[in-house]
Amino acid sequence: MTSPPASVDGFVKQFLQNLNFDIGVSLSESSKNDQYLALAGTVRDYLMARWLDDQRRQGDLQAKGVCYLSAEYLLGRQLDNNLLASRLTDIASDALAQCGIDLDELRQLEVEPGLGNGGLGRLAACFIDSLATIGVPSIGYGIRYEYGIFRQTFEDGQQVEQPDAWLALGSPWEFPHPEAAQQISFGGHTETYDDDGVTRSRWIPGWNVQAVPYNYMVPGYHNGRVNTLRLWSAVATSAFDLRIFNSGDYEEAVRAQTFAENISKVLYPEDSTPQGKELRLQQQYFFVAASIGDFLENVLADGYDLAKLPERVIFQLNDTHPVIAVPELMRVLVDDKHMEWDAAWAITQQCFAYTCHTLLPEALEVWPVDLLGRLLPRHLEIIYRINDDFLEEVRERFGDDELRIRAMSIVGEHPFRSVRMAHLATVAGSKVNGVAELHSQLLRDKVLHDFDEFFPGKFTNVTNGVTPRRFIRLANPDLAGLITEALGAGWTVDLERLRGLEAFAADPEFRERFAAVKAGNKRRLAAVLRERDGLDVSEDHLLDVMVKRLHEYKRQMLQLLHIVTQYDRVVSGRVAASDITPRTFLFGAKAAPGYAMAKSIIHLINAVGEVVNDDPRVEGRLKVLFPPNYNVTLAERVIPAADLSEQISLAGKEASGTGNMKFALNGALTIGTDDGANVEIRELVGDENFFLFGMSEPEVEAQWAKGYRPAEFYQADAELRSAMDLIASGAFSGGDRSVFEPIVSNLLYDDRFMVLADYGSYIRAQAKVDAAYADPDAWTRSAILNVARTGFFSSDRSIRDYIDRIWHTPPVS
C-alpha cells in the first residue's frame, strides 16, 4: 500500500493524478468542484494506508471495542478536519498554491453532511473523533440518509424547509461496500417448531431490504489512527423485485424498489415529541439489525464463541432510537444460534449500555404494539417475554404493588398499548447514564426512580463534552495559536492544560492579545454574514448569541422579551438610546416542520428584527440578526466571535447542552440558568465569571406546587406588561394583532416553561451583563478564565469516563 508522501511536491503530484484519473479533467479545464473532489481524494489517499492498518490491527487484536449505535451523526465538513488530523493543512495549501488554487476557496464548496438534528447528533460526531484520538477500538454505526436535516430559508420572516441534497455534487469521503450488504427483514409472522424435542420459535418475514454499508474515515488527531464510521443505505433486494418483475408487473417492481429505498431517504427533522411513524421504526430496526449482523459476521472472527460476546463488545445506545437492537440480539442468539433464553439474556444485558438525553416526558419514545407487531412480530414476542420475566422479579422484590408494577412495566397501556423504549433500555442495559450531573440526578430521583431502586449501581453520569479539534483548533485558529504560544503544544489532546492560562489572565499584554483575537473573530463573522446573507454585524457591539434548536423549553422567547424590553425602553422614552449598551442579538435555530409554536416564534424573532433594526430612534444600538440555516459550518464561525452565550432553558429541562461548553471554551461569558451542564460550567468558572439567573429546579417544582398563574407575573411587572402589550398590539406585524396572538396568549395563560416567572430575574442579570461589558479589560479577564477553567468539557474526558464507568475498553496502541 503506497501512501502519498507528505511533501508539497508529492501532494501536487497526487492531486493532479486524482484530478486527471479519478475526476477525468485536466487542471486547466477543471471546475472548482472538480478541484475540491481531487483534493479530498488526495487527503483520503494519504489516510488510506493508516486506515487499512487500523482495520487489520483491530481485527488481529481481538480486543474489546465499542459499537456506538446512533441514528444521527451531525458531522460538519470533513475536509478541514481530515487535513488537521493528518497534519496536511500547510502542505495542501502550498501544493494548491503551486497549481494556482486557493485552499480556502475549495473549503467553501463542501456541503456538510447534516445527518443529525442537533445536540445528540453532534455529540455522536464529537465522540467518534475522541474515540479515534484516544485509540479505542470502535465503530460508529448509523444511517446514510440521502437527505439530511432540511435547509432552512425565510420567506416573509417565516421558516421554509428545502431538501438537503448533500450528495448531489459527489461524496468523496465515503466508500460503498455493496458486497458486504446485510439483508434486513420486516413483517410476516412467527411460528414454533420442534427441533429434536426442543420447541423453538422462528420468524417468517414478509419482505426484505438490503442494507449497504458506506464507510467513512475517522482519523485520530496526530496519532496515525483511523477509525470507521459505517452508515447504512437501503436498496431493494433483487430477489424481492425480481419476483414481482417476473409476474409481469413492471410498475409494481419499480414501486417496490422505491418503497425499500425510502427507508434511508430522509432524516426525521423532529428532535422531541416523536410522532410514532412507521417509517421511523423501519429506519431504527434497519440500521441496528444491519450493525449487529455486521459485527457478528464481519468483525468477529469466524466461529467466535458467542458466550464470550461481552468480552469483545459493548453496544452503546445513543438514546432510545437504537433500542430495538436489544430484542434483535436476543432473536439472533436464541432463534438463530439456539442459545438458551437465560444465557442469551445474561449476555445481552452485559453487551448494552444506554444513554438518556432528555427529561421531557413527551420526548420519551413509545411504539404502539400493533405497529411493532405488524413490522417486527418476533421482536414483540421477545419484548413481552423480557417484560414478563422482569415484572416477575419486581413482584418478588416489592410484592404485588400493582401501581409500581404498572409504572415500571416495559409495556404501557395508556393512551394505547405501547412499548416504552426507555424502560426496555434501562432493563436491558448494564449501565444507564445521563449527560450532565444534574440530569443524571433527576433521572435517578424522578424519571426512572423506581428503576434506580431496583437496580442499585446501574445509574451513572457521564457529562457531555465537545471536541477541541473542531471547536477550538479549526474554528478558532487565532485563539489556538495564542494558547500554544502561552502553554506549548499538547493541550489539544489534554485540555485540562488550559488551566495554565489562569496565570495569563493577570497579564495585561496577554489580555490585549486575547481581546484582539476576539475582535478578529467578529470581523471574520461579519464578513461571512455579509457574504452569506447580506447581514451587517457591527463589530463594536456586544455580540449576544443564542444558537440551538427552536424549542419552547429552551426559551428563545425569554431573550426576545429582553430585546423588546430594551426597544420599548427607548421608544417610550424611559431610557435614552445613548444609554443603551450597543448589542447585536444573533439567533440561529431550526424548528421541526410540524411544530407550529416554534415556527411562530421564528416568525416573531424576524418580525422584531425588521422593526428594531430600522427604527432610527434606536440609533443603531440594537440589532437583531437571524441568519437562516444554522448548521455546524456556521457554528464554527459564530461561536468564536461571541461575547455572550445564552443558555436560558427552564431549570430541569435541558439535559446538558453542548453549545454552552463550546462558547465557554471560546471565551464567551454565559448568561444562564442552573440547568444541565450550566451547573458544572458555573462551578468551574466561578460565580463571578457567570451570569446566573432564574429559578433552580427545586424552586420550579415549588412554583408548580403552589400553582403557577403567569398572568400574575404580567400584572406585577410594568416593563413585562409593556413589552407583551407591544407584541400584542401588532407593533411587529403591521398592526395586525392576530399574527402573534397565540404566542402572547400562550405565555399569559399556559407558559409551561415559566418564561414570565423568570423574566424579572433575567432582565436584572442582563443589566449586570451591560455593566460588566462597560469594563472591557475586566470582561476579557473573565473570558480568559472561562477558557482556562473549562478544559473539563473536552469530549476526550467524556470518552475516558465512558471507558472507566461503563465500557471497560482500554485504548490500544
Question: Which residues of the chain form contacts with ligand 26Q (CB under 6 A)?
Answer: 117-120, 123, 268, 270-272, 274, 280, 321, 357-358, 363, 365, 435, 464, 654-658, 676
- The neighbour count for residue 641, using CB atoms within 10 Å, is 27
- In the bound complex, what is the minimum distance in angstroms from residue 149's beta carbon to ligand 26Q? 10
- In the bound complex, what is the minimum distance in angstroms from residue 232's beta carbon to ligand 26Q? 17
Please identify, using beta-carbon distances, which residue of 118 and 627 lies nearer to ligand 26Q.
118
- In the bound complex, what is the minimum distance in angstroms from residue 117's beta carbon to ligand 26Q? 5
- In the bound complex, what is the minimum distance in angstroms from residue 497's beta carbon to ligand 26Q? 25
- The neighbour count for residue 273, using CB atoms within 10 Å, is 13
226 pairs with which residues across the strands?
A: 219
- In the bound complex, what is the minimum distance in angstroms from residue 272's beta carbon to ligand 26Q? 6
Rounded Cα gap, residues 493 and 19, in angstroms? 35
Rounded Cα gap, residues 561 and 559, in angstroms? 5
Please identify, using beta-carbon distances, which residue of 54 and 319 lies nearer to ligand 26Q.
319
Please identify, using beta-carbon distances, which residue of 164 and 365 lies nearer to ligand 26Q.
365
- The neighbour count for residue 487, using CB atoms within 10 Å, is 17
- In the bound complex, what is the minimum distance in angstroms from residue 387's beta carbon to ligand 26Q? 21
CA distances 337 to 6, 84, 294, 330, 652, Å, are 48, 45, 16, 10, 45
| Grid cell of 466 as nine digits | 465537545
Cβ–Cβ < 8 Å for 165, 149: no
Task: Give burial (CB, 10 Å; 0-12/13-18/19+) of 685.
Answer: buried
- In the bound complex, what is the minimum distance in angstroms from residue 70's beta carbon to ligand 26Q? 10
Please identify, using beta-carbon distances, which residue of 307 and 360 lies nearer to ligand 26Q.
360
Which positions are catalytic?
Answer: 357, 548-549, 554, 658, 662
Cβ–Cβ < 8 Å for 688, 709: no
Please identify, using beta-carbon distances, which residue of 65 and 465 lies nearer to ligand 26Q.
465
Residue type, 90: D
**3-class DSSP assignment, residue 3:** coil
Please identify, using beta-carbon distances, which residue of 274 and 710 lies nearer to ligand 26Q.
274
Please identify, using beta-carbon distances, which residue of 124 and 747 lies nearer to ligand 26Q.
124
Cβ–Cβ < 8 Å for 502, 686: no
Q: How far is C-alpha 448 from the chain's CA centre?
A: 23
- List the Cα angle 659/317/215 in 5-degree steps: 85
Please identify, using beta-carbon distances, which residue of 236 and 665 lies nearer to ligand 26Q.
665
Cβ–Cβ < 8 Å for 448, 354: no
Rounded Cα gap, residues 566 and 43, in angstroms? 50
- The neighbour count for residue 578, using CB atoms within 10 Å, is 8
Rounded Cα gap, residues 372 and 380, in angstroms? 6
List the one residue out of 159, 149, 117, 151 whose CA is nearest residue 606.
159
- In the bound complex, what is the minimum distance in angstroms from residue 119's beta carbon to ligand 26Q? 3
Residue type, 209: V
**3-class DSSP assignment, residue 200:** strand
My answer on whether omega of the bond before 415 falls inside 30° of 0, hence cis, is yes
Rounded Cα gap, residues 63 and 139, in angstroms? 13
